[in-house]
Structure 1
Amino acid sequence: MRTSTQPLNLTYTNNTLKRAERALGCAPFQLNLFTAMKTDSVPLPNIAGETGVKQGYTLKSLSEQRVEKDLLWLIQVGLLRREVDGQGITDSFRLTPLGRQLVAKWKEQGEKLPQPSWWERLVNQFIRWFSLPF
């Protein structure tokens, strides 16, 4: 029987893993953000603006709108989830089991997310564009 402290051991298809890795690598965020999301939820205002740069979550100041848009894409890909409290959905985000798996993998390989090629960036943008709700 699984207790709440035991991690889920889920198996993902190669396509799911490739799509998630590509999306995470193309996002404007640093590994520090995802490492923080592994143990705690991180509120949107802590990621946007100069606060995000000071925390090591981003390399440059990003607007809240840009941060939310990119985080919502990572939710759609299956890497993140939005926190919920007694009032409903919050402005905080946390890793899913898929996200924790990829962050653990990249944490072992070094302190940076791998840089995607121009082709991977193009594919990610293409998939993202066609995945937008109409």
Structure 2
Amino acid sequence: MLTCDPHSLARAAEALPCLPLQPSFYAAVLQQPLSSEEVSRNEAWCCRPLSANATENCFIWLIRLGVLRREVDGQGLTSRVRLTPMGNQLLKRWPQGWPPASPWQRLRHGIRRRWPRL
């Protein structure tokens, strides 16, 4: 089993419940690559309606956290994303979905997302 840096894993684990993407999204992206347009059209994957641009912003943050990666084809990077081994590890940690985020976790995540160097 592949293990990830504990600090990175803890940071990503704290972020997942704070983001508007449901555990069903992560299970789907484990099976096949998905684009922001596909995700924004599927209401079962989002906690609230998201535009393709807002979904893409979530993707970018999840890529920075190490949970997602861009799909690569013969011509380079695509608009689709896949789950990384660390993302898979987090998904296995909570097979029934993760616990809801506390207000403190949401505040910390919001600060980290807007000022990631702090």
Q: Tell whether 2:19 aligns with 1:27.
A: yes
Q: Tell whether 2:28 aligns with 1:36.
A: yes
Q: Please give the residue correspondences for 1:4-83 in structure 2 after superposition, counting only pairs within 5 Å.
A: 9-48=1-40, 51-53=41-43, 56-83=44-71
Q: Tell whether 2:101 aligns with 1:116.
A: yes
TM-score, length-normalised on structure 2?
A: 0.90
What residue identity is the alignment partner of 1:52? N
Corresponding residue of 1:85: 73
Q: Please give the residue correspondences for 1:91-110 in structure 2 after superposition, counting only pairs within 5 Å.
A: 91-107=79-95, 110=96
Task: Give me the CA root mean square deviation.
Answer: 1.5
Question: Can you give the 5+ residue segments of structure 2 that lack an aligned partner in the other structure?
Answer: none
Alignment length (residue pairs): 117
For residue 84 of structure 1, report the CA deviation from its aligned partner.
1.3
Larger Rg: 1
Question: Can you give the 5+ residue segments of structure 1 that lack an aligned partner in the other structure?
Answer: 1-8
For residue 125 of structure 1, report the CA deviation from its aligned partner.
1.3
Asked whether the equivalents of residues 45 and 64 of structure 1 are also in contact (C-alpha less than 8 Å), the reply is yes
TM-score, length-normalised on structure 1?
A: 0.80
Deviation per residue, 1:43-93 (Å, 9 max, x gap)? 211111xx220xx11132201111110111010000000111122221111
What residue identity is the alignment partner of 2:92? A
**In 2: Cα distance, 1:37 partner to 1:79 partner:** 11
